[in-house]
Amino acid sequence: ENHTNAPPCIKGWIPWFGAALEFGKAPLDFIADARAKHGPVFTVYATGKRLTFVTLHEDFRTFFMSKDVDFEQAVQDACYNTASISKESFFKFHPACNALIKGRLTPGNSAMLATHLCEEFNEQLELLGDSGTRCLNDLVRSVMYPAVMSNLLGKCNSPQQNGSMKEFKERFTVYDEGFEYGSQLPDMFLREWSTAKHWLLSLMGNMIVRAEEGEHTDTGRKTLLQHLVTTITDKFLPNYGLLMLWASLANAIPITFWAIAFMMSKPSTYKKAMEEIHATLKNQDTKNTSITLEDLQEMPYVKWCILEATRLRAPGAITRRVVRPLKLQNYIIPPGDMLMVSPYWAHRNPEYFPDPEEFKPERWEEADLVKNVFLEGFVAFGGGKYQCPGRWYAIMELHMFVAMILYKFDFTLLDPLPKPSSLHLVGTQQPEGPCTVEYRHR
Ligand code: HEM
């Protein structure tokens, strides 16, 4: 009998210190075990924080919509730790920052970025040469980082353009891999990570100078970064820039890797996708390939593959803070608790996704994608007021990239499909082992 009406509480687990590993359980697996043992709502008490996990789909609406939970209060600390944005500045500028990105990346505006993105993908993919053997994850990063950064921050701010590609990739990878620890700890505990963070902040400072000069609007329109410059008017502008950059790359690029890896490891899927791509692009040049939005509309199967990869490799956890007592099931969650939903596990509920572990693009046939409606139970982009503002851009970007790389290159997978690492809760999973591919330009 639980007299306080609070959910069952698990103590003695320290998620962000690697101690979870000593328990033999990575954080993602821990959630599934705790759920099996303690029921659909449970609290983990760790390092002075209470994390209350919500695992029932029927409670997700409350998580996203309730006035008694708050997004900004949940992530403010993390924004201080990962990008040194002061609490005051964060509460002052976050709403405008979110509104700006949401407004710039509506489905309509994302469409306008597509022509330029297509040119960038062509240019970067041609740098791969005629053939080669490489780690697919690294290949995708090398091509997408400079292309997407050129598209969102301006050509002059693409790391390839200013010669910092190799270093950018290294520093960003360190920053990204340590993001979760970094979001929990003051950065004096994480020397290498902190060095990467300061390098990226300084890089962003330089990008902002170039953005302010403003001559480099190759698309004839202001870049997302140039819009940010006019929105954030305090000294933390580069810090917001860094968080925006991280958000735009951290999930989208590993999911691109997974989408291609999943497709290649399932011959029937690969074949079907290739037929669709060839039927749409017909006899187009493989070196300078134009993919328009109309072309994308003619490749729904490739889009299903993207969404299916996003389902299977959705972020480990998203969070809100409880600000007033919150009723969930028969429990009252106390104010101050961090409320957690795991999209990764939500997408493994067989009631919503039969054969949840199967990569089955066909299941997306039922979604009304023309009206931008996902499948019920799909929460990879979060929800409510602070749902991912980059989601329409992300889908367009991944759809175009996957169609183009598969049209240009013939791939052979040399390793078995790697498993996802369950070490991290924040963001999407990285592959646990190598994934080498051989490629040849068609
Ligand atoms: C498949 C790729 C992506 C996934 C799975 C993803 C997922 C998410 C999730 C789960 C959130 C938190 C939402 C919540 O708590 O309800 C988020 C926030 C955010 N995402 Fe994405 N995202 C992706 C791509 C992108 C891209 C390409 C951009 C930018 C171009 C972007 C920009 C952002 C920003 C700026 C936020 C923070 C919003 C705020 O602070 O108000 N995301 N994303």
pLDDT digits (tens, 9 = 90+) for 240-265: 999 999 999 999 999 999 999 999 99
Residue 26: the pLDDT is 78
What is the span of the domain harbouring residue 387?
86-315+347-441
**Percent of the chain scored above 70 by pLDDT?**
94
Q: pLDDT-derived band of residue 218, with 50, 70 and 90 as boundaries?
A: low
User: What pTM was computed for the model?
Assistant: 0.95
Q: Give me Rg for the CA atoms of the chain.
A: 22
Indicate if 75 and 174 belong to the same structural domain: no
Residue 29: the pLDDT is 86
Which of 346, 365, 393 is where one domain is finished?
A: 346
Indicate if 402 and 274 belong to the same structural domain: yes
**What is the pLDDT of the chain when averaged over all its residues?**
92
Q: How far is the CA of 406 from the centre of ligand 1 (A)?
A: 26
Indicate if 198 and 171 belong to the same structural domain: yes
**Percent of the chain scored above 90 by pLDDT?**
81
Give me the mean pLDDT over the 285-300 stretch: 96
Residue 14: the pLDDT is 61
Indicate if 17 and 165 belong to the same structural domain: no
Q: How far is the CA of 313 from the centre of ligand 1 (A)?
A: 14
Q: Considering Cα of 422, then 426, then 429, then 433, what sign does the dihedral take?
A: negative
Indicate if 81 and 91 belong to the same structural domain: no
Residue to substitute in 54, 251, 305, 387 for testing ligand 1 pocket (most ligand atoms within 8 angstroms of CB): 251
pLDDT, greater one: 221 or 158: 158
Residue 167: the pLDDT is 94
Give me the mean pLDDT over the 16-27 stretch: 57
Q: Which amino acid is at 122?
A: N
Q: Which two tokens stand for residue 173?
A: 């990878």
Identify the residues whose C-beta falls under 6 Å from ligand 1.
98, 101, 105, 244, 247-248, 251-252, 255, 310, 315, 318, 380-383, 386-390, 393-394
Q: CB of 168 within 8 A of CB of 145?
A: yes
User: What's 201's domain CATH number?
Assistant: 1.10.630.10
Collapsing DSSP to helix, strand or coil, 28 comes out as: helix
Q: Which residues pair with 11 in a beta bridge?
A: 45
Indicate if 146 and 275 belong to the same structural domain: yes
Q: Report how many helices (DSSP H) and strands (DSSP E) the chain contains, helices first.
A: 18, 11
How many folded domains does the chain comprise?
2
Indicate if 356 and 257 belong to the same structural domain: yes
User: What's 38's domain CATH number?
Assistant: 3.30.43.20
Indicate if 157 and 180 belong to the same structural domain: yes
pLDDT at 348 over 90: yes
Residue 20: the pLDDT is 52
Give me the mean pLDDT over the 79-93 stretch: 97
Indicate if 135 and 22 belong to the same structural domain: no
Q: pLDDT-derived band of residue 366, with 50, 70 and 90 as boundaries?
A: very high
Residue 19: the pLDDT is 47
Sort 6 into a burial class: Cβ within 10 Å, 0-12 / 13-18 / 19+: middle
Indicate if 259 and 309 belong to the same structural domain: yes
Indicate if 44 and 65 belong to the same structural domain: yes
Give me the mean pLDDT over the 119-132 stretch: 97
Nearest to 427 by CA among 271, 304, 314: 314
Each residue's pLDDT tens digit, 301-327: 999 999 999 999 999 999 999 999 999
Indicate if 49 and 77 belong to the same structural domain: yes
